[in-house]
């Protein structure tokens, strides 16, 4: 093995030498499947936006294995973001040769191999498939910050051989745990919730006390996502248009969007708008919400709403929290809803609009409006009107208005509407 590669592996695998390594604050309780799937034969894919904590959680899995008695020498971690590996990312034999040399050197009955940012290696599918099929003694765990490269290959070449988990930035509940705020008053929780909405849930941001540094880090995260996981991953030819489009989309989170109008505003074709937005989906930066319709064709035809993966990114890239707290809160509710794997999220619009319809098992199970407060009578009437229309369209579903800190129960047209703080609704979903 090349001495430089061996030096990198020695650095990336400190447990081989009994050295300490940073596992951060444990999040495995929020993703129990990560430990459960370690016992499964299938390849484990950990997906999600960059800097959401995937690598750290891999180290937590390594720590778990070692505590369970696994020989540290039988655990190999490879981070393909390592600059030294760049020259081998197009070499079809690189990964197989590296793994073969490792297996010859470390003769064990079972191995756990963790590979970070697998999408960097162009030949990963063939390498992993061959090893999976011929070396059942290896348990593979892979991470990726882009989804399309994985989906395309998973559907064709490794179908039936994998399990996948999506990791998100910290939920508000995790955020409180990171801060050690496990028992807090309502007043304190409201303060911390506003803080969370301003700076988001990226783990590194949460533990940073310097406010200006938080902003700089969030800006850096955003630039890395669009450079590495959008522009470079998809060979974008006009980066200036991409930057303008992403800025517009993040500044208009939760608004109805027309691809045609977007293209006219920015000066690019509708197809290019669609292509760039798909690339942002692939990087887990933006997520679409479709208008609910029993016809899937009509769902795809209607205008979409887009939401960002993290409210801190919105504040760092576009407007400040104070300028549009309502849209930030709405974005938070969306990121709360997508954590439930069994749910699909839509919006309702006939005469009026309702922010979210939640579908489970092919039926709508709840309707949700989001606003910072119901104190303003005009806002109150608008939110209730849209919610009642959605509840009339789907008889029997419960209706919620989620706010910053309002709490009451309303009865309108023989329908019960629960008004509650958005973080309380998130807590209710966990139960």
In the chain, how many domains are there? Answer: 2
Task: Judge if 109 and 208 occupy the same domain.
Answer: no
pLDDT value of residue 348: 97
* Residue positions counted in the chain: 431
β-strands 286-291, 162-166: how paired? Answer: unpaired
CA distances from 225 to 16, 219, 281 (A): 32, 10, 11
Q: What is the pLDDT of residues 256-297, one digit of tens each?
A: 999 999 999 999 999 999 999 999 999 999 999 999 998 777
Task: Judge if 137 and 190 occupy the same domain.
Answer: no
- Give the pLDDT means over successive 10-residue stretches in the chain (431 positions): 91 97 95 96 95 97 98 97 92 92 93 95 88 94 84 69 94 96 92 96 96 96 95 90 95 94 94 95 96 82 93 88 86 96 93 97 96 96 98 97 96 96 94 74
| Structural domain harbouring 96 | 3-166
Task: Judge if 312 and 404 occupy the same domain.
Answer: yes
Task: Judge if 191 and 300 occupy the same domain.
Answer: yes
Task: Judge if 317 and 365 occupy the same domain.
Answer: yes
pLDDT value of residue 428: 92
- Domain boundary, last residue among 166, 200, 221: 166
Task: Judge if 84 and 206 occupy the same domain.
Answer: no
Task: Judge if 102 and 237 occupy the same domain.
Answer: no
pLDDT value of residue 402: 98
Task: Judge if 377 and 292 occupy the same domain.
Answer: yes
Task: Judge if 114 and 162 occupy the same domain.
Answer: yes
pLDDT value of residue 30: 95
Burial of 403 (0-12, 13-18, 19+ CB in 10 A): buried
Task: Judge if 156 and 177 occupy the same domain.
Answer: no
pLDDT value of residue 319: 65
83-98 CB burial, b ≥16 within 10 A, e <16: eebeebeeeeebbbbb
Task: Judge if 227 and 122 occupy the same domain.
Answer: no
- Domain boundary, last residue among 136, 166, 196: 166
CATH of residue 22: 3.40.50.300
CA geometry: angle 180, 186, 190, nearest 5 deg = 80
pLDDT value of residue 274: 95
- Gap between the terminal Cα atoms of the chain: 51
| Order of all β-strands in the sheet with 363-370 | 256-257, 304-308, 286-291, 343-349, 353-360, 363-370, 399-403, 415-421, 408-412
Task: Judge if 146 and 210 occupy the same domain.
Answer: no
pLDDT value of residue 147: 85
What pTM was estimated for this model as a whole?
0.94
């Amino acid at each position: 093995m090349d001495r430089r590669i061996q030096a990198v592996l020695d650095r990336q695998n400190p447990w081989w030498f009994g050295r300490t390594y940073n596992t951060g604050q444990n999040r495995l309780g929020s993703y129990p499947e990560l430990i459960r799937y370690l016992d499964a034969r299938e390849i484990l894919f950990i997906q999600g936006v960059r800097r959401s904590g995937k690598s750290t959680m891999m180290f937590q899995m390594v720590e778990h294995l070692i505590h369970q008695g696994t020989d540290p020498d039988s655990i190999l971690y490879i981070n393909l973001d390592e600059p030294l590996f760049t020259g081998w990312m197009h070499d079809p034999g690189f990964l197989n040769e590296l793994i073969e040399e490792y297996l010859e050197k470390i003769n064990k009955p079972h191995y756990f191999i963790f590979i970070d940012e697998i999408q960097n290696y162009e030949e990963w599918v063939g390498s992993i498939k061959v090893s999976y099929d011929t070396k059942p003694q290896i348990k593979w765990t892979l991470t990726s910050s882009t989804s399309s490269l994985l989906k395309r290959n998973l559907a064709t070449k490794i179908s039936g051989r994998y399990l996948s988990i999506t990791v998100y930035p910290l939920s508000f509940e995790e955020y409180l745990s990171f801060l050690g705020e496990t028992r807090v008053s309502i007043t304190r929780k409201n303060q911390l919730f506003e803080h969370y909405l301003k700076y988001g849930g990226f783990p590194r941001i949460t533990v940073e006390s310097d406010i200006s540094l938080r902003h700089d880090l969030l800006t850096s995260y955003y630039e890395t996502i669009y450079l590495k996981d959008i522009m470079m991953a998809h060979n974008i030819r006009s980066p200036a248009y991409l930057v303008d489009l992403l800025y517009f989309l993040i500044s208009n989170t939760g608004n109805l969007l027309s691809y045609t109008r977007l293209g006219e505003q920015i000066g690019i074709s509708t197809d290019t708008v669609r292509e760039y937005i798909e690339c942002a989906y692939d990087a887990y930066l933006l997520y679409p919400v479709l208008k609910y319709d029993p016809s899937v064709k009509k769902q795809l035809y209607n205008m979409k709403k887009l939401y960002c993966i993290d409210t801190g990114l919105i504040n760092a890239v576009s407007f400040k929290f104070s300028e549009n707290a309502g849209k930030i809160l709405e974005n938070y509710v969306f990121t709360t809803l997508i954590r439930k794997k069994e749910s699909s999220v839509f919006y309702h619009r006939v005469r009026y609009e309702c922010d979210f319809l939640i579908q489970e098992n092919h039926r709508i199970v709840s309707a949700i409006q989001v606003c910072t407060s119901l104190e303003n009578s005009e806002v109150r009437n608008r939110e209730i009107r849209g919610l009642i229309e959605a509840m009339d369209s789907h008889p029997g579903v419960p209706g919620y208005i989620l706010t910053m800190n309002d709490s009451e129960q309303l009865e309108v047209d023989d329908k019960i509407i629960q008004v509650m703080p958005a973080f309380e609704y998130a807590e209710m979903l966990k139960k």
